[in-house]
Amino acid sequence: MDASRPPELLFTTPVINYRRADLADAPMFLISNRLVWQAVGITRIRRHRWPVEVYHEEGKAEGLDQYQVRDFGAIQRHVALIAVLYSMLRAAPHDPALHTELQRQLKITLADSPAAWRREAQAQALWCLGLFLSAELAQGQTLMEVMAPLLRAMCRV
């Protein structure tokens, strides 16, 4: 038994990568349970796998892991819509026309990552919903009267 490694890391292959040859940058640490893989192979797989992990993380943030619909077609439409929106957000920093159009439509300045843009858009949508509810309630409608058409539209099968 190797005393230099904790038991949970005993049967793993650690890899430490640097981008710069002089090792002046921050290291990237990888651990694989594939004992026969070489560092180059582990690094290559991580490079190809990481965008998939980011996509799944963003998908969860969009609610892809919490379906409350009954119809499989609705799930397919939702996944397709999220995939299109995610692709647009990923492409926008590299496409000046799309970037400008998204800023114009959302009426905000898009500076950070696609995840930050998503949060901005969600916050703006929530604010608009709050203004709508406030205006309708101020006109004397009940909350159920205001919410009924919204719920029908969102829960349509």
* Distance, CA of 101 to CA of 134 (rounded, Å): 29
Looking up tokens 């492409």, which residue turns up?
91
Residue 54 near residue 82 (C-beta atoms within 8 A)? no
pLDDT at 75: 67
pLDDT at 66: 66
Q: Per-residue pLDDT averaged across 34-55, rounded?
A: 82
pLDDT at 150: 75
19-32: pLDDT as tens digits: 888 989 999 888 88
Residue 61 near residue 118 (C-beta atoms within 8 A)? yes
pLDDT at 43: 87
Q: Per-residue pLDDT averaged across 9-23, rounded?
A: 83
pLDDT band of residue 157 (cuts 50, 70, 90) is very low
Domain ranges of the chain: 7-52, 62-154
